[in-house]
């Protein structure tokens, strides 16, 4: 049964593995089980995948219910193509460690930048009002 051809309806995507990108930057991979008119999603056997560079790590999370407004995008995972991945899979600890390192490096660079800017007498307003990253 062809539900609403030509539209971006999620009905056809049910019971298929999907990759969901959330507004807070998280990447979830799970089987889409249920939807509603707001594109709230129910993901089954969800795994949160953390990417750092060429490596990634999976954290199994179970069942996720995602509020539709927090979804940036989602797409079906091609199971055949998923097998041949260029990225290297690592353990969770490792990937978390990598992520931490990355965050630290970023913060460090930000700090230096801010310092440099201050020295020059300029100021960059802090993006406190921004909701998302």
Partner 1 sequence: MFRFQSFDEDCTLEEEGLVEEDEIDQFNDDTFGAGAIDDDWQEAHARLAELDELVRDGPAEDTPSAPHELPPVTSSTLSPPPPLYSEERAGGDLAESLSRLILGSDPAIAGVGTASLDRSRLPPVLSSHTHPPALAGQSPLLLSYPQNQQLLHRGSAPLSQINSHSIWENSMVFSPVGVNSGLVNQTEDSPLLSIIKEVGLPKRPPALGREEGRDLSERVPPPRSSSPVIGSPPVTAVPIGTPPKQPMSHILIQQNNHPSAVHVRASVPLRYPPPFPERLSPNNLLSITNPPLSHHSFPGVGPILSQIQRAQLLNAQFQRCPGPPPPLLQGGVGGFRPFFGQSGPRMGLHGPHLGHVPIRHNTTHLHPQHRRMLNLRMQNRGTGDHLSGRGVLERKNRDPYSNLMMQREKEWVARIQMMQLQSTDPYLDDYYYQNYYEKMEKRQERDRDNKKEHSTKLITPQVAKLEHTYRPVQFAGSLGKLTVSSVNNPRKMIDAVVTTRSDDEEKREKQVWNKRRQILYTVEKMYTLLLEVQDFEKKFLQTPEHQRDALLEQHKSHTLQLYSSLKEKEWADRVSDEQCLMIMSVRKGKRLISRLLPFLPQQQAAAVIMAIARNLPALAKKDKQDQVLCWLVEPVTVVIQSMSSTSLTDLLQELQGSEGQLPLVLQNKFGVTVLYVVLSEGERMQSSDPNCQLMDDNRWTELVFSVTRELLKVPSSALSSPLFTPPNLVSLFSRYVDRQRLELLQEKLQITALSR
Question: What residue ranges bind partner 1 (CB under 8 A)?
Answer: 2-7, 9, 11, 14-15, 17, 29-31, 33-37, 42, 44-45, 47, 49, 57-62, 77, 79-80, 82-83, 89, 91-93
**Minimum CB distance to partner 1 smaller for 91 or for 115:** 91
Phi and psi (nearest 5°) for 66? -110, 130
CB of 119 to partner 1, least distance (A): 44
At its nearest, how many Å lie between partner 1 and the CB of residue 79?
A: 4
Which one, 91 or 107, has the nearer CB to partner 1? 91
Q: Please, what is the minimum distance in Å from the beta carbon of residue 47 to partner 1? A: 5
Adjacency order of strands within the sheet including 17-22 = 71-76, 17-22, 27-35, 41-52, 55-66, 88-89
Is the Cβ of residue 96 or residue 102 nearer to partner 1 in the bound state?
96
């Amino acid at each position: 049964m062809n539900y609403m051809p030509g539209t971006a309806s999620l009905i056809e995507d049910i019971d298929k593995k999907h990759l969901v990108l959330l507004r807070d930057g998280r990447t979830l991979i799970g089987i889409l089980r249920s939807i509603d008119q707001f594109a709230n999603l129910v993901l089954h056997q969800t795994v949160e995948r953390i990417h750092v560079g060429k490596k990634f790590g999976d954290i199994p999370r179970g069942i996720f219910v995602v509020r539709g407004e927090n979804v940036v995008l989602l797409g079906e995972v091609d199971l055949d193509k998923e097998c041949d991945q260029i990225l290297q899979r690592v353990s969770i600890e490792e990937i978390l460690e990598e992520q931490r390192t990355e965050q630290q490096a970023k913060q460090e660079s930000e700090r230096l930048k801010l310092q440099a800017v201050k020295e020059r007498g300029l100021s960059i307003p802090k993006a406190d009002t921004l909701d998302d990253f």
